[in-house]
Structure 1
């Protein structure tokens, strides 16, 4: 698991390397310029790294403050990157189904959110391990060995993720976002751009997760109905059915080895 985690982190940071190099180059250029030439009160300094660096001199204290827009962009990407990567993996379906399970059991905050998130995250690593392998071998490893440039490595590393998303996406959802993008039907899945594949994949994952959640609710709902009917027939209308049905739900879930069954079903749903 540690091997896949390291590869996943390297893959995430691959796309940020060019931006970080540009930021470091811009910062170093600004430092050299500040040491050689006098700085105007407010003046943009041109930089060959791309976006200029703005340098401001305080009139009273005489201090120079440099703001690199590349660093700001880099921090913004780091903030958004986890959410983007989670939406490109099996995490969405898994965490929604686990949340439905907790609601069907009516156990309130058991298992706690931290446990559900950790379970969903590590099950995501398990499901996505073949995709991470291909992304590492096709894009990350050649880039780290200086065999290809970042412009070639990033599309090569992203291709397995797009293939995974399209394999889990319904045709109706893909056609919907193709029409919304005002594009003609694509000849093959390789021609589908990321801006169409990602929303179609997320929409399809939500549908699949809600269908699995509905199937999870059925046996526990039957227990609730039976318990409520028995209490009404006994004249115990003031007793909450959920209090009586909770032990029966837990007993049923344990007897059928529910966790193993659920984890196997979730993992297997991505390989069908």
Structure 2
């Protein structure tokens, strides 16, 4: 994805003659390349925005939300650590996004590299696979909200939605889905907490916090049912 963004934004200087003035701001014609300092500025800007795109318009968002809820439900606080959670979410996201990234490369960056299309056409063609992926998981209610906020007329079809509307709508939809899955994950562990708290209070164990007593039982239950396999498998299937 990084290579696609950089390649679509920066092209070799030899692509066009220098010193020509034209329709682009700064005196660049549509076929002329950017100067080296401007290319560096654009690339650095793209690299700065890339982490935000990674965590918002990919499955990374839903996966991290669910894993956070799972860790809270288990009551293990910092186990697994944030680095492990983020690493697992990153690898799972790349696995899910690989077909989309391959299609973006083949339809956007590759024709641009071969000089068959302009940068604008490459961006338009390369964004279509990403739009197709986002549309699969976005809710109509969230799209309607963003269209109302931006005062944009509704398009004739979902494929005509702008990424500026589609991306935040996808974030809202994924947050709702992640919270729904997290609430379902919490229920069995909450039942264990309630049962343990009732037992400890009934026998007068007020000196020992119920959370400390229930933690081993929750971890044992999670291990016995092979919880990581079930959670990760369900997450991956939710995107298929």
The reply to whether TM is greater than 0.5 is yes
Following TM superposition, by how much is the alpha carbon of 1:243 offset from its aligned partner in structure 2, in angstroms?
0.8
1:237 aligns with 2:196: no
Match of 1:15 in 2: 8
The correspondence for 2:111, drawn from 142, 146, 150, is: 142
Q: TM-score, normalised by structure 2?
A: 0.86
Per-residue CA deviations over 1:45-96 (Å, capped at 9, x if unaligned) read xx7559xxxxxxxxxxxxxxxxx56644542332122212331111111111
5+ residue gaps in structure 2? Answer: 20-25, 30-36
Describe the SS at the equivalent of 1:166. Answer: helix
Question: Are 2:239 and 1:270 equivalent residues in the alignment?
Answer: yes
Deviation string 1:142-173 (CA, Å, 9 cap, x unpaired) is: 22333323221122111111111111001111
Find the counterpart in structure 1 of residue 22 from structure 2: none
Q: Which has the higher contact order (CA 8 A, sep 6+)?
A: 2
> Considering only aligned residues, what root-mean-square deviation do their CA atoms show, in Å?
2.4
Match of 1:253 in 2: 222
Max radius of gyration: which structure? 1
Q: Give the Å deviation of 1:235.
A: 0.3
Secondary structure in 2 aligned to 1:252? helix
Name the structure 1 match of 2:23: none
Q: 1:117 aligns with which of 77, 83, 86?
A: 86
1:152 alignment counterpart: 121
**Aligned in 2, Cα 1:215/1:21: closer, same or farther, shift over 3 Å?**
farther
Structure 1: 5+ residue stretches without partners: 1-7, 30-46, 51-67
**Deviation of 1:105 (Å):** 0.6
**Any conservation in 2 of the 1:86–1:92 contact (CA below 8 Å)?**
yes
CA contact 1:170–1:204 (8 Å) conserved in 2:
yes
Query: Shift of the alpha carbon at 1:15?
Result: 3.1
Equivalent residue in structure 2 for 1:94, among 29, 39, 63:
63
Please give the residue correspondences for 1:1-272 in structure 2 after superposition, counting only pairs within 5 Å.
Answer: 8-18=1-11, 71-271=40-240
Runs of 4+ in 1 over 3 A off after TM superposition: 47-50, 68-74
Q: Is the 8 A contact 1:91 1:121 kept in 2?
A: yes
TM-score, normalised by the number of residues in structure 1: 0.76
Between Structure 1 and Structure 2, which shows a larger proportion of strand residues? 1
Using the TM superposition, name which of 9-18 and 128-137 deviates more.
9-18
Aligned length in residues: 226
Separation of aligned partners in 2, 1:91 and 1:246: 28
